[in-house]
Chain A
Amino acid sequence: MGILRRLVCTTRNLVRGTRIDRDLDHELRAYVDLLADEKIASGMPPPQARREARVESGGLEQVKEQVRVVRSGALVEQFVQDLTYGLRVLRRNPSFTLVAVCTLAIGLGATAAIFSVVNSVLLRPLPYAAPDSLFRVENMHYTGEFVELQRRGQSFDVAAYLTREATITGDGEPQRVAAASVSPNLMPLLGVTAVRGRALEDGDERASNGAVVVISHEFWRSRFGGDPGVLGRLVTLDGTSRTIVGVMPRDFDFPTPATQLWTPAVVDLNNRIALWSSSRHIIGRLRPGATFPLADAEVRTIAPLMRALFPWGMPADYGQNASLIPLKHALVADVRPLLTLLLAAVATVLLIACVNVSNLLVARTLARQRELAIRASLGAARGRILRQVLTEGALLVLCGLVLGVPVAYGGMDLLATSLPADMPRSVTLALDGRLLAFAAAALATCALIVGVFPALRAAQVDLVPRMAEGERMGQSRRTRWTSNLLVGTQMALAVMLVVSAVLLARTLANLHAVSTGFAVEQVVSARISPPQFRFPNAAARRDLYSQVLERAASAPNVVSAAVTDRLPLGGETYGSVFSIEGRPDPARTGEWPIADVSAIVSPAFFSTLGMPVQTGRTFTADDAETSQRVAVISESLANKYWPGESPIGRRFGFPGDGNRLRTIVGVVADVKWERVTDKLRTALYVPIAQAEPAAMRVVIRTTAGPSAAQEHIRSIVRGIDRDTPVDRPRAMADLVATAVEGPRFAALLVAAFAVAGLLLGAIGIYGTVSDHVAQRRREIGVRIALGAQKADVFRAMLGGTMTVVAAGTVAGLAGAAVITRLFASMLFEIAPTDPVTFALAVGILAATAVLAGYLPARRASRVDPLSALRVG
């Protein structure tokens, strides 16, 4: 039959369905009448003739159904029928529908929101040309190493970058922005071009060409209002006037999404000290034809050769760890465990939601057995009933999807504001192929899980006994098995969520309990960055800082004030090597003592931060530029290099500091430098009077609130010099809070998912036990009539379900033991298989399960035997 004809028939059948059905009805009635006439003509009494005619035609409704099935468009018609019927069924049970749809909507929406974060950070390919051939060099970060790699590399090209903060002065308040100092070949190497003007290119680093800068799309919009004439304009960056030569595309977020400016890095090949002590990140691209293993092998060969180029000796194993890793991997390595955990957690909630809805549907199918049996006896084929039940499941999932879309968008907004600030790539809601594929897969899985168990149940409907018997005493073993499997699965999944949540919550508690080693309350800080053009030498800057401290200390609320170039937890840990007087010369042995942190501080630093002095003294005003050169060291440094002896009075020197030795005058307690989870770091402090300070942080302890204190610092600095920016205002309490931001985010979200999972699990148990009770009302009535005690009934109703819960819990614990290992790196001072946590999770689960099962079971124990038996 031609397609056109089929189309015409389909349309006609669909559009004029009722009329055609009426026609068919008339036709069949006529058939029966004719048949009866025939029998009457052959001498049969009319009533009998009519009855036999009816029997012979085999049931008019079935015949009609068979005719409908062969018609064109029958499938469409049936689908529409299933759909309208399904909608009617769902509308008839509004509370069930509401619970199911909301459950699915929240599950789907939350999953989509988390997935879009995972997609934009972990999955989305880097938006650069041939991103798969980009890599980052690990364990090599000195400028000199970069220069050598660039010079010697055969199978790859390299570029370097360094994130920093730059000060913009000129019109208005000085502004600090996130900037990157990049080798001029970085942008060409990534294969990115500017949307206006040009990207940085080779030659930009030469001062003779004039200093240039490339700005971000965001910066162009916010600072210049998207002015098309921005190219060629001048901005003053850190006191240097630079010409804007280009605007980068909106989605260019290298090295961080916050970066607003890119300046060409200037490498002075003649300054060997700077070359081999300043550091930067090195990235690279494979040359055509080269492979990762080849380039990796080359780097491993070149690296050890560089040991001889350092102006000082490097450890014997220098360069052994140099390697390449794919760039995307390197950029997102820090957040991968967090995001993977969140996706797994939210997917688990969705799975629980589906299983829950499926279980509710199974129960409903059971309650509808009579209806299904009637439909089957009226001529509905088994496949047809199956399709009907599946359609209802799919309909629920579809409604869930419709409601889930706003949930997903809301979730995205919420995530965008609550994600830890250090996401390495910008988070965007891109409706790309991956997101759509994920959504489709998630939907299909949901529809399958939701529909398949009820459908399997429906397929087992036996026609005759159902209709004849009305209500049977108990559930079939098979049904109970399905429902038990579903409840058990829910429990197992919920256990995994609860264990994860408890582990993270305890990690958070451990983090809060950690001592940072310094006072947090009432301490605020801000950075002062005296521009080079206003304060050209160390003496001028020292003078600025002493003026600032003088004015700060005289304010009424200030208890004490100090300056430092390294703030604990301020993300500024830079160390230094040194040589100890009277020990073998490290320049010869290559074994340099090293302090993880080397700080320049003013005398009041230790008292302001409340760091106790262990032995000796801290700095005083008497430690002047010309007096004896002194230093204070941390306890851990003392223990490392002067174990079992007093370091007081010992002397050491920094390389490149001439032969001027410093005398250790005191030992102070350790503090946490980088993160509160850090192990102790060795530290070395020198007085500001005997050092060359650059940008410093003012730290004050004050009884005024943090914002008033910040404003105070700002006004003091402005009173001295208008061109000196004051930035990075921090209350130390906030710094500590920032340090636990990631773990807190993870703990909160996973806890929310765990609660959702538990609630759904509870609903599942409640539903199953309720059902169980409803189905067995007569049996319970008989039992009570025969003398069963309430406790017996209670046990009988609850016992089976609790066994299933226990089995699910055990399976869940086993699963948890496996999955918690996957995020062990996010835990702090707690083992991924911590027995207390597992016990706690079991307790929470058991309490929830008993509570959920208790209510319906109690109802069972109160069944009145008389009324229960009479109903049947």
Chain B
Amino acid sequence: MLRGTLDLLILQTLTLGPNHGLGISRRIGQITQGAFDVRAGSLFPALHRLEERGWLSSYWGDSENNRKARYYEMTAAGRKQLRAETDNWDRVALAITRALKAT
């Protein structure tokens, strides 16, 4: 996975509303149609990093089957970051696609 891609995917996932670790992992699987299988070992460090940067906030809540779980939620700074990252991603993707087609 490209560097920074995971952050982008997590932020994108959370635009649909707060979710816990496993939920985020599953939703990334769904929206990328199984292309990315995010394991705990990379997911949690990323979540904590994003939280420390102020793009996510977290709270303890009850899951669908009544288990205590830690939920992550996008902050205003996170939304801004996502827009910036998305624009950036589009530019890079476009540039790379062009470059690959040109040769």
Q: How far is the CB of A585 from chain B (nearest CB, A)?
A: 101
For A69, the chain B residues whose CB sits under 8 A away are 45
Is A803's beta carbon under 8 Å from chain B? no
Q: 1/0 per residue A1-19: CB within 8 Å of B?
A: 1000100010000000000
For A77, the chain B residues whose CB sits under 8 A away are none
Q: 1/0 per residue B4-35: CB within 8 Å of A?
A: 00000000000000001110000000000000
- Cα A63 to Cα B21 in complex, Å, equals 13
Q: 1/0 per residue A53-88: CB within 8 Å of B?
A: 000111000110011011110000000000000000
CB pair B48–A31 under 8 Å, yes or no, is no
Q: How far is the CB of B41 from chain A (nearest CB, A)?
A: 5
Residue among A5, A26, A33, A35 making CB contact with B54, cutoff 8 Å:
A5
Residue among A26, A34, A58, A67 making CB contact with B63, cutoff 8 Å:
A34
Is B65's beta carbon under 8 Å from chain A? yes
- Cα A37 to Cα B68 in complex, Å, equals 13
Q: 1/0 per residue B42-62: CB within 8 Å of A?
A: 001110110011100000000
- Cα A70 to Cα B51 in complex, Å, equals 11
CB pair A71–B54 under 8 Å, yes or no, is no
- Cα A31 to Cα B65 in complex, Å, equals 13
Known: A35-B22, A58-B40. A66 touches B45 (CB 8 A): yes
- Cα A37 to Cα B69 in complex, Å, equals 13
Known: A66-B45, A70-B48, A72-B52. A34 touches B67 (CB 8 A): yes
Known: A1-B54, A35-B22. A28 touches B44 (CB 8 A): yes
Residue among B39, B53, B54, B69 making CB contact with A30, cutoff 8 Å:
B69
For A521, the chain B residues whose CB sits under 8 A away are none
Is B79's beta carbon under 8 Å from chain A? no
Question: In the complex, which residues 45-93 of chain B have their Cβ closer than 8 Å to any Cβ of chain A?
Answer: 45-46, 48-49, 52-54, 63, 65, 67-70
Known: A35-B22, A57-B39, A63-B41. A1 touches B52 (CB 8 A): yes
For A37, the chain B residues whose CB sits under 8 A away are 65, 67
Residue among A9, A30, A57 making CB contact with B52, cutoff 8 Å:
A9
- Cα A70 to Cα B49 in complex, Å, equals 6
Q: How far is the CB of B47 from chain A (nearest CB, A)?
A: 8
Known: A5-B54, A37-B65, A66-B45. A58 touches B22 (CB 8 A): no
Q: Which residue in chain A gives the minimum CB-CB distance to B55?
A: A1
CB pair A66–B41 under 8 Å, yes or no, is yes
Q: Which residue in chain A gives the minimum CB-CB distance to B22?
A: A34
- Cα A35 to Cα B20 in complex, Å, equals 12
- Cα A623 to Cα B46 in complex, Å, equals 111
In terms of DSSP, what is the predominant structure of the interface of chain A? helix
The count of residues in chain A whose C-beta lies closer than 8 Å to any C-beta of chain B is 26
- Cα A86 to Cα B46 in complex, Å, equals 30
- Cα A28 to Cα B22 in complex, Å, equals 10
Q: Which residue in chain A gives the minimum CB-CB distance to B42?
A: A66
For A30, the chain B residues whose CB sits under 8 A away are 20-21, 63, 67-70
The count of residues in chain B whose C-beta lies closer than 8 Å to any C-beta of chain A is 20
Q: Which residue in chain A gives the minimum CB-CB distance to B46?
A: A70
Q: Which residue in chain A gives the minimum CB-CB distance to B63?
A: A34
Known: A38-B22, A58-B40, A58-B41. A33 touches B52 (CB 8 A): no
For B53, the chain A residues whose CB sits under 8 A away are 1, 5
CB pair A56–B39 under 8 Å, yes or no, is yes
Known: A26-B68, A26-B70, A70-B48. A34 touches B41 (CB 8 A): no
- Cα A49 to Cα B45 in complex, Å, equals 25
For A35, the chain B residues whose CB sits under 8 A away are 22
CB pair A31–B21 under 8 Å, yes or no, is yes
For B48, the chain A residues whose CB sits under 8 A away are 24, 67, 70-71
- Cα A72 to Cα B70 in complex, Å, equals 20
For A5, the chain B residues whose CB sits under 8 A away are 52-54
Q: Which residue in chain B gives the minimum CB-CB distance to A38?
A: B22
Q: How far is the CB of A58 from chain B (nearest CB, A)?
A: 5
Is A27's beta carbon under 8 Å from chain B? yes
For A9, the chain B residues whose CB sits under 8 A away are 52
- Cα A1 to Cα B65 in complex, Å, equals 37
For A28, the chain B residues whose CB sits under 8 A away are 40, 44
- Cα A23 to Cα B44 in complex, Å, equals 12
Known: A1-B52, A5-B54, A38-B22. A67 touches B67 (CB 8 A): no
- Cα A30 to Cα B21 in complex, Å, equals 9
Q: How far is the CB of A230 from chain B (nearest CB, A)?
A: 70
Q: How far is the CB of A4 from chain B (nearest CB, A)?
A: 11
Residue among B39, B44, B70 making CB contact with A67, cutoff 8 Å:
B44
- Cα A67 to Cα B44 in complex, Å, equals 6
Interface centre among A1, A34, A38 (most CB of B within 10 A): A34
Interface centre among B20, B22, B68, B69 (most CB of A within 10 A): B22
Q: How far is the CB of A372 from chain B (nearest CB, A)?
A: 22
- Cα A56 to Cα B41 in complex, Å, equals 10
- Cα A34 to Cα B46 in complex, Å, equals 19
For B20, the chain A residues whose CB sits under 8 A away are 30-31, 34
CB pair A34–B69 under 8 Å, yes or no, is yes
Interface centre among B20, B40, B46 (most CB of A within 10 A): B40
Q: How far is the CB of B69 from chain A (nearest CB, A)?
A: 5
Q: How far is the CB of A72 from chain B (nearest CB, A)?
A: 6
For B52, the chain A residues whose CB sits under 8 A away are 1, 5, 9, 71-72
Q: Which residue in chain B gives the minimum CB-CB distance to A64?
A: B44
- Cα A71 to Cα B45 in complex, Å, equals 8
- Cα A63 to Cα B39 in complex, Å, equals 10
- Cα A66 to Cα B65 in complex, Å, equals 28
For A24, the chain B residues whose CB sits under 8 A away are 44, 48
- Cα A27 to Cα B63 in complex, Å, equals 12
Q: How far is the CB of B85 from chain A (nearest CB, A)?
A: 15
CB pair B22–A67 under 8 Å, yes or no, is no
For A23, the chain B residues whose CB sits under 8 A away are 70
- Cα A66 to Cα B45 in complex, Å, equals 6
Using a CB–CB distance below 8 Å, which chain B residues touch chain A?
Answer: 20-22, 39-41, 44-46, 48-49, 52-54, 63, 65, 67-70
Q: List 5 A-B contacts (CB under 8 A).
A: A26-B68, A27-B70, A56-B39, A63-B40, A72-B52
Shortest Cβ-Cβ A-B pairs, 10 listed: A57-B40, A27-B70, A34-B22, A70-B45, A30-B69, A70-B49, A58-B41, A31-B21, A66-B45, A9-B52
Q: Can you name 5 extra interface pairs (CB under 8 A) apart from A26-B70, A31-B44, A63-B41?
A: A1-B53, A24-B44, A31-B20, A37-B65, A71-B49
Using a CB–CB distance below 8 Å, which chain A residues touch chain B?
Answer: 1, 5, 9, 23-24, 26-28, 30-31, 33-35, 37-38, 56-58, 62-63, 66-67, 69-72
